[in-house]
């Protein structure tokens, strides 16, 4: 991609050039000690091989990440972070980054299943799902669990609506996804006909959004549609979605012309849960609601008398697939949690919970015009 295609920050009428990237009073206050040291504030637009590009009020700075690449992978600087960069030097170093308000984390597929941060300080986690291939509801649930856990608001965007043969089929597909995603908006879009992109543009015009999904889902095509320019490279010819070809290889933060910030990410083959019990609970909120009515509060929903979950299965309100998926994700999560150092996890979580609560309050205040 070429950064010259980024909308110029000088076009903004906002008081601070960084406002177009999401800078606000709370960030400014947190940055004060770094400003006193003469460090520049900027948002990380891309990290790769020991270096990162940071968008500052003076433009893009290429900086070395040696100081912000600790052993703990969850503390490694990432796209979306607010960085403190040296004003001069060769190389220039990122000296620190501000505590994150939200972070999208998955566990790597490696043996050690470490957490890996995919994007920081995100308000909307957009899960892109192609309608050109068979829906994988389990995978959507998995993405949603991580999205809820991140502290961002999830959104499912069903892409390539133009490839669905008729309206009735489209309706059924949307219904299936909606039943899988309580409390989550489900949008259908087509980058070919333009359908739905205006609705999406309105959502991403506020705050920071990250595009997530498997390779070939159409994330970069959507990013370009929202940017109104061919900034991100897209897969040249559509073969079969999600089959091995990864077009986007780094996570890129882009300022949208109508306001808002978008992070395009490389396709994920799989997303392992990483300490996402609350997120799983939110994805399956209706099951947790049924469970609240079970006769025994420690009901395992196997064969207990007065089990409201089994009653919902019997009446058809709840599907076997969904209950199985819930159980599977809970089990997987427990395995990950058991593997990870408990003390470290609780420390990191406390940090984030605090920050994301603050972040949400700030964001809500900003939206309602109080800041």
Ligand X SMILES: Nc1nc2c(ncn2[C@@H]2O[C@H](COP(=O)(O)OP(=O)(O)OP(=O)(O)O)[C@@H](O)[C@H]2O)c(=O)[nH]1
Residues that bind ligand X (CB under 6 A): 159-160, 162-163, 190-192, 213, 215-221, 234-235, 237-238, 246-248, 266-267
Among 101, 106, 251, 301, binds Zn ion (CB under 5 A): 301
Q: Which stretch binds Zn ion (CB under 5 A): 45-53, 210-218, 287-295, 356-364?
A: 287-295
Q: Name the minimum Å distance from CB 150 to ligand X.
A: 19
Among 107, 191, 220, 333, binds Mg ion (CB under 5 A): 220
Among 140, 271, 309, 329, binds Zn ion (CB under 5 A): 309
Q: Name the minimum Å distance from CB 301 to Zn ion.
A: 4
Q: Should residue 294 be labelled a site residue for Zn ion when binding is judged by CB under 5 A?
A: yes
Q: Which does 216 bind (CB under 5 to 8 A by kind): Zn ion, Mg ion, ligand X, none?
A: ligand X
Q: Which stretch binds Mg ion (CB under 5 A): 17-25, 44-52, 217-225, 361-369?
A: 217-225
Residue with smaller CB distance to Zn ion, 10 or 315: 315
Residue with smaller CB distance to Zn ion, 262 or 294: 294
3-state secondary structure the chain: CCHHHCCCHHHCCCCCHHHHHCCCHHHHHHHHHHHHCCCEEEEEEEEECCEEEEEECCEEEEEECHHHCCCCHHHCCCCCCEEEECCCCCCCEEEEECCCCCEEEEECCCCCCCEEEEEECCCEEEEEEECCCCCCHHHHHHHHHHHHHHCCEEEEEEECHHHCCCHHHHHHHHHHHHHHCCCCEEEECCCCCCCCHHHHHHHHCCCEEEEECCCCCCHHHHHHHHHCCCCCCCCCCCCCCCCCCCCCCCCEEEECCCCCEEEECCCCCCCECCCCHHHHHHHCHHHHHHHCCCCCCCCCCCCCCCCHHHHHHHHCCCCHHHHHHHHHHHHHHHHHHHHCCHHHHHHHHHHHHHHHHHHHHHHHHHHCCCC
Q: Which does 307 bind (CB under 5 to 8 A by kind): ligand X, Mg ion, Zn ion, none?
A: Zn ion
Q: Which stretch binds Mg ion (CB under 5 A): 73-81, 243-251, 274-282, 288-296?
A: 243-251
Residue 270 structure tokens: 């799989």
Q: Should residue 106 be labelled a site residue for Zn ion when binding is judged by CB under 5 A?
A: no
Q: Should residue 100 be labelled a site residue for Zn ion when binding is judged by CB under 5 A?
A: no
Among 113, 197, 247, 319, binds Mg ion (CB under 5 A): 247
Residue with smaller CB distance to ligand X, 85 or 268: 268
Binding site for Mg ion (CB under 5 A): 219-220, 247-248
Binding site for Zn ion (CB under 5 A): 294, 299, 301, 307, 309
């Amino acid at each position: 991609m070429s950064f010259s295609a980024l909308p110029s920050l000088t076009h903004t009428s906002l008081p601070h050039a960084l406002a177009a990237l999401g800078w606000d009073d709370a960030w400014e206050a947190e940055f004060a000690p770094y400003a006193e040291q003469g460090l520049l504030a900027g948002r990380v637009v891309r990290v790769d091989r020991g270096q990162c590009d940071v968008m500052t009020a003076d433009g893009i700075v290429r900086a070395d990440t040696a100081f912000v690449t600790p052993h703990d992978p969850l503390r490694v600087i990432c796209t979306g972070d607010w960085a403190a960069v040296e004003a001069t030097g060769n190389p220039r170093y990122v000296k620190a980054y501000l505590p994150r308000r939200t972070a999208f984390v998955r566990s790597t597929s490696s043996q050690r299943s470490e957490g890996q941060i995919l994007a920081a300080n995100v308000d909307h986690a957009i899960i892109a799902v192609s309608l050109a291939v068979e829906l994988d509801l389990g995978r959507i649930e998995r993405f949603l669990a991580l999205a809820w856990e991140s502290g961002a608001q999830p959104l499912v965007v069903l892409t390539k609506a133009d490839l669905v043969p008729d309206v009735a089929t489209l309706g059924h597909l949307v219904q299936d996804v909606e039943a899988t995603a309580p409390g989550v908006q489900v949008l259908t879009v087509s980058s070919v006909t333009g359908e739905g992109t205006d609705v999406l543009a309105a959502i991403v015009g506020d705050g920071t959004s990250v595009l997530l999904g498997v390779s070939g889902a159409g994330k970069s095509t959507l990013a370009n549609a929202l940017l109104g320019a061919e900034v991100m490279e897209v897969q040249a010819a559509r073969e079969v979605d999600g089959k091995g070809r990864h077009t986007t290889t780094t996570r890129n933060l882009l300022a949208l012309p109508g306001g808002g910030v978008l992070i395009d990410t490389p396709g994920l083959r799989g997303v392992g849960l990483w300490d996402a019990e609350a997120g799983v609970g939110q994805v399956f909120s209706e099951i947790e609601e049924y469970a609240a009515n079970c006769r025994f509060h420690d009901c395992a929903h196997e064969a207990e008398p007065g089990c409201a979950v089994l009653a919902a299965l019997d009446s058809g309100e709840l599907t076997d697939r969904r209950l199985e998926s819930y159980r599977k994700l809970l089990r997987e999560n427990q395995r990950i949690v058991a593997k990870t150092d408990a003390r470290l996890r609780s420390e990191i979580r406390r940090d984030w919970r605090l920050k994301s609560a603050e972040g949400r309050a700030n964001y809500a205040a900003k939206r309602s015009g109080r800041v």
